[in-house]
Amino acid sequence: MSQPIYDIKSLEHSYGDKTVVAIEQLSVQPGSIVGVIGPNGSGKSSLLRLLGLIEKPSRGTIFFNGRVVEPFSDEARFLITLLPQEPFLMKRSVFNNVSYGLKLRGNGQDVAARVDQALALVGLPSKDFARRPWYALSGGEAQRVALAARLALKPRVLLLDEPTASVDAASAQLIREASLRARRQWGATLIVASHDWQWLYEICDEILHIFRGKIFGSGRETIIFGPWQQFATGKWGKVLSDGQQLLVPAPPGQNAAAVIDGLSASDDGSTVSGDTVVLNGIVSRLSLERKTGQLFATILVGDLPFTVGLPLKQGRADNIFPGEKIFLRYRHDQIKWL
């Protein structure tokens, strides 16, 4: 295995007394695609800002290509770029926005050609868009121009913070294709924070599940938030919108978040032991993880989505298709509290 492009040790970042990122160790291989998933406010954007050297961590060290880096580090500032979630352009023309980073690097000679190429990558013809001012673009076009400004730099690391969250379907497709071309064409490392699990499962070599600033899994876990209640039977849990009871071991606090890892799904609804909980759900979405060939099913129990990984063969054998009824099964010892 080659030297990691990123190596993070005991990283911690806080705003006031609120810790938003706390990662003990993380390595990212060069040329890989890493997905970061987690609910809103879980620390995805903060992590990307730290990796993008926009903010200095409160504690800990980020190694980039084996060297300690921080904001404005000469070793890294021309190699890493971050595309923030909301499209933001500077008050200048599309051409000047896209060429801005090239000019910072002193690449004065082939600027026009590189701007044309970058705009073409995101599906914006230079002759129609280059002269437009920043305010004469739609949200999707602005986000594509912002991505073109990053792609023009041919960065070693492209950090994408929910790049398709605020754009239409057509723009989202162009942004996805253009991002992947960065890896294909010049071997860029991509780190993508997104709620689009399906896309991440398709493209990523590794997925990090982040919650309250901590990485706790690979994205196949289901997080369930409190509040929890104690039923008359003495058991803890919550009543789902369809009336089923989601039972858990006694929580550390009424609003604690539970993680269920290793859920199983089948068309068999019989209970095996007293410690096993069986829930009745409906398959709402299927995704294929290309790297492992495994299926990921999103199963709705009431309104609550659960993620289950299962081999492709089992998916076929058990007729697991969207709309089909299915039984979810977990044991109490599969629940961890965050």
Partner 1 sequence: MDFILEGFIQALNLLVGGNPETYSAIWATVKVSSYSIAASLIIGIPLGFCLGYFDFTGKKPLRTVVDTLMALPTVFIGLLIYALLTHRGPLGNLGLLFTLPGIAAGQTILALPIVIGLSATAVESMDQKLRITIMSMGANRRQLFISSLWETRHGILAGAIAAYGRVMTEVGISMMVGGNIKWHTRTITTAIALETNKGQFGMGVALGLVLLGIAFCVNLTLSLLRRRY
The contact set with partner 1 (CB under 8 A) reads 49, 52-54, 71-72, 74, 77-78, 80-84, 86, 88-91, 100-101, 104-105, 146, 149-150, 153
Closest to partner 1 by CB, 23 or 102 = 102
Closest to partner 1 by CB, 145 or 326 = 145
CB of 119 to partner 1, least distance (A): 16
CB of 220 to partner 1, least distance (A): 31
Closest to partner 1 by CB, 49 or 114 = 49
CB of 279 to partner 1, least distance (A): 42
Closest to partner 1 by CB, 78 or 231 = 78
CB of 79 to partner 1, least distance (A): 8
CB of 278 to partner 1, least distance (A): 47
Closest to partner 1 by CB, 18 or 91 = 91
Tokens of 223: 């997080």
> CB neighbours of 75 closer than 8 A, spacing ≥ 6?
64, 65, 67, 69
Closest to partner 1 by CB, 96 or 307 = 96
Q: Three-class SS string for the chain? A: CCCCCEEEEEEEEEECCEEEEEEEEEEECCCCEEEEECCCCCCHHHHHHHHCCCCCCCEEEEEECCEEECCCCCCCCCCEEEECCCCCCCCCEHHHHHHHHHHHCCCCCCHHHHHHHHHHHCCCCHHHHCCCEHHHCCHHHHHHHHHHHHHCCCCCEEEEECCCCCCCHHHHHHHHHHHHHHHHHHCCEEEEECCCHHHHHHHCCEEEEEECCEEEECCCCEEECCCCEECCCCCEEEECCCCCEEEECCCCCCCCCEEECCCEEECCCCCCCCCEEEEEEEEEEEEEECCCCEEEEEEEECCEEEEEEEEHHHHHHCCCCCCCEEEEEEEHHHEEEC
Pairing of strands 189-193, 206-211: unpaired
Closest to partner 1 by CB, 107 or 198 = 107
CB of 257 to partner 1, least distance (A): 29
Closest to partner 1 by CB, 40 or 233 = 40
CB of 91 to partner 1, least distance (A): 6
CB of 110 to partner 1, least distance (A): 17
